[in-house]
Structure 1
Amino acid sequence: MKKVFLLAGWCCILLFCGQCVTGQSRQMEYLDRGLLAIKTTNAVFVSWRSLGTDGSTVTFNLYRNNQLINESPLSLTNFTDTSGSQADSYVLKVLVDGEEVSGMESQPVTPWAQQYLTIALDQPAGGTTPDDVTYTYLPNDCSVGDLDGDGQYEIVLKWDPTNSKDNSQSGYTGNVFIDAYELDGTKLWRIDLGRNIRAGAHYTQFMVYDLDGDGRAELVCKTAPGTVDGKGNAVIMGSDDSSADYRTSSGTILSGPEYLTLFDGLTGAELNTVAYDPPRHPTKLNPTTSELKAIWGDNYGNRQDRFLACVAYLDGTKPSVVMGRGYYTRSCLAAYDVKDKKLVQRWFYDSGSTSGIGAYGQGNHNLSVGDVDVDGKDEIIYGSCAWDDDGSLLYRTGLGHGDALHLSDLDPDEDGLELWDVHEEKTATYGYEIHNAGTGGVKWGTFSGTDVGRGLAADIDPNHRGFEMWSTASSNVYSCKGEVVSTSRPSVNFRVYWDGDLQDELLDGTKLDKWKTTGGTDRLFTFYNYSNAKEINSTKANPCLSADILGDWREEVVYYNSSNGSELVLFSTVIPTDYKLYTPMHDPVYRMGIAWQNVAYNQPPHLGFYIGDGLTSIPTPSIYTPQYSITTSSKLIKSADTRVYKVNDKIRIESDDEIDAVSVVNMKGQTIFSDCAVKGKTYEFSIAANHSMVVVKWRSKDRVFTNKILNF
Structure 2
Amino acid sequence: MQIAAGGVTLDGISYTYNANDCSVGDLDGDGEYEIVLKWNPSNSHDNAHTGYTGNIYLDAYKLNGTHLWRIDFGKNIRAGTHYTQFIVYDLDGHGKAEVACNIADGTRDGTNVVIGNPNTDYRNSEGYILTGPEFLTVFNGRSSKAMATVNFVPDRGTVASWGDNYAHRIDRFIAAVAYVDGRRPSLIMGRGYYTRLVQTAWDWRNENLTRRWTFDSLSSTPGNSKYFGQGNHQMSIADVDGDGKDEICNGASAIYDNGRGLYTNGKGHGDALHMTDIDSDRPGQEVWQCYEDVTSYEQNGLALHDGKTGGFLCGIPTTGDIGRAMAADIDPRHKGLEVWGASGGLHNCKGIEIAPNPSSMNFGIWWDGDLSRELLDGTKLDKWDYSRNASTRLFTFYQHAGATDSNGSKANPGLVADLLGDWRE
TM category, shorter: over 0.9
**1:51-70 equivalences in 2 (<5 Å):** none
- 1:543 paired residue among 369, 393, 413: 413
Q: How far does the alpha carbon of each residue in 1:490-519 deviate from its partner, in whole angstroms, 9 at most, with x for none?
A: 311111111222110011122211111130
CA RMSD between the two structures: 1.3
Q: 2:111 aligns with which of 219, 231, 236?
A: 231
Q: Structure 1 residue aligned with 2:289, among 408, 421, 437?
A: 421
Structure 1's 254 and 123: CA in aligned 2 closer, same or farther, altered over 3 A? same
Which secondary structure state, in structure 1, belongs to the residue aligned with residue 24 of structure 2?
Answer: strand
SS of match in other structure, 2:35: strand
Q: How many Å separate the matches in 1 of 2:398 and 2:317? A: 37
In structure 2, do the counterparts of structure 1 residues 487 and 356 end up closer, same or farther at CA, with 3 Å as the change threshold? farther
Deviations 1:327-380 (A, max 9, x none): 010011111000111211110111018999332100001111111111101111
Q: Is the 8 A contact 1:129 1:173 kept in 2?
A: yes
TM-aligned CA deviation for residue 209 of structure 1: 0.0
Q: 2:42 corresponds to which letter in structure 1?
A: T
The match for 1:313 among 176, 179, 204 is 179
Partner of 1:158: 38
Distance in 2 (alpha carbons) for counterparts of 1:177 and 1:356: 36
Counterpart pick for 1:258 among 134, 143, 150 = 134
- The residue number in structure 1 matching 2:74 is 194
How far is 1:436 from its partner?
0.7
Once the 2 structures are TM-superposed, how far is the Cα of residue 530 of structure 1 from its aligned partner?
2.8
Letter in 2 for 1:382: N
- Map 1:69-148 → 2, pairs under 5 A: 121-148=1-28
Does the 8 Å CA contact 1:358/1:393 hold for their aligned counterparts? no
Per-residue CA deviations over 1:193-248 (Å, capped at 9, x if unaligned) read 11010010100000000001110000000011010011010112xxxx32100000
- SS of the aligned residue for 2:294 comes to coil
Residues 478-493 of structure 1 aligned to structure 2 (within 5 Å): 478-493=347-362
Match of 2:366 among 497, 502, 520: 497
Contact 1:329–1:353 (Cα < 8 Å) also in 2: no
Which whole-Å deviations, capped at 9, do the CAs of 1:571-610 have from their partners, x for residues lacking one? xxxxxxxxxxxxxxxxxxxxxxxxxxxxxxxxxxxxxxxx
Find the counterpart in structure 2 of residue 303 from structure 1.
Answer: 169
Q: How far off is 1:489 after superposition?
A: 2.6
Cα displacement string for residues 252-304 of structure 1 (whole angstroms, at most 9, x for unaligned residues): 000100000000000000000000011111xxxxxxxxx421x1111111111
Normalising by structure 1, we get a TM-score of: 0.58
Q: Does structure 1 residue 437 correspond to structure 2 residue 307?
A: yes
- Counterpart for residue 320 of structure 2: 450
Q: Matches of 1:234 and 1:538 in 2, distance apart?
A: 32
Q: Secondary structure at the match of 2:409?
A: helix
User: Residues 619-657 of structure 1: CA distance to partner in whole angstroms, max 9, x if unpaired?
Assistant: xxxxxxxxxxxxxxxxxxxxxxxxxxxxxxxxxxxxxxx
Q: Which residue of structure 2 lines up, in the alignment, with residue 360 of structure 1?
A: 228
Could you say which residue in structure 1 is the equivalent of 2:423? 553
Quick one: which of 523, 526, 530 aligns to 2:400?
A: 530
1:463 aligns with 2:329: no
Matched, 1:380 2:248: yes
Aligned equivalents of 2:173, 2:329: Cα separation in 1: 30
2:381 to 500, 512, 536: 512
Is the contact made by 1:334 and 1:347 (CA closer than 8 Å) also made in structure 2? yes
For 1:209 and 1:221, how far apart are their aligned partners in 2? Answer: 11
Give the whole-Å Cα distance in 1 for the aligned partners of 2:293 and 2:9: 36
Q: 1:174 & 1:374 partners in 2: Cα distance?
A: 45
Q: Give secondary structure in 2 for the equivalent of 1:552.
A: coil
Gaps of 5+ in 1: 1-120, 282-290, 556-712
Please give the alpha-carbon distance, in whole angstroms, between the structure 2 residues aligned to 1:494 and 1:488: 15
Q: Is the CA contact (8 Å cut-off) linking 1:353 and 1:360 kept in structure 2?
A: no
Say which SS state the counterpart of residue 235 (structure 2) adopts.
strand
Alignment-derived partner of residue 292 in structure 1: 159
The correspondence for 1:343, drawn from 194, 209, 220, is 209
Tell me what 1:268 maps to. Answer: 144
Cα distance in 2, alignment partners of residues 150 and 135 from structure 1: 37
The whole-number CA distance in structure 2 between the counterparts of 1:218 and 1:530 is 33
Contact 2:229 2:268 in 1 (8 A): yes
Residue 266 of structure 2: aligned partner: 398
Query: Which residue number corresponds to residue 280 of structure 1?
Result: 156
Question: How far apart are residue 525 of structure 1 and its match?
Answer: 2.1
Q: Is the 8 A contact 1:296 1:353 kept in 2?
A: no
Tell me how many residue pairs correspond in the alignment: 420
Q: What is the percent sequence identity of the aligned residues?
A: 53
Corresponding residue SS for 1:155: strand
SS across alignment from 2:108: coil
Q: Distance in 2 between matches of 1:299 and 1:510?
A: 37
Give the stretch that moved more between structures: 502-511 or 520-529.
520-529
**Residues 356, 394 of structure 1: alpha-carbon distance in 2 compared, 3 angstrom cutoff:** closer
Hey, what's the Cα distance between the residues in 2 that align with 1:408 and 1:203? Answer: 27
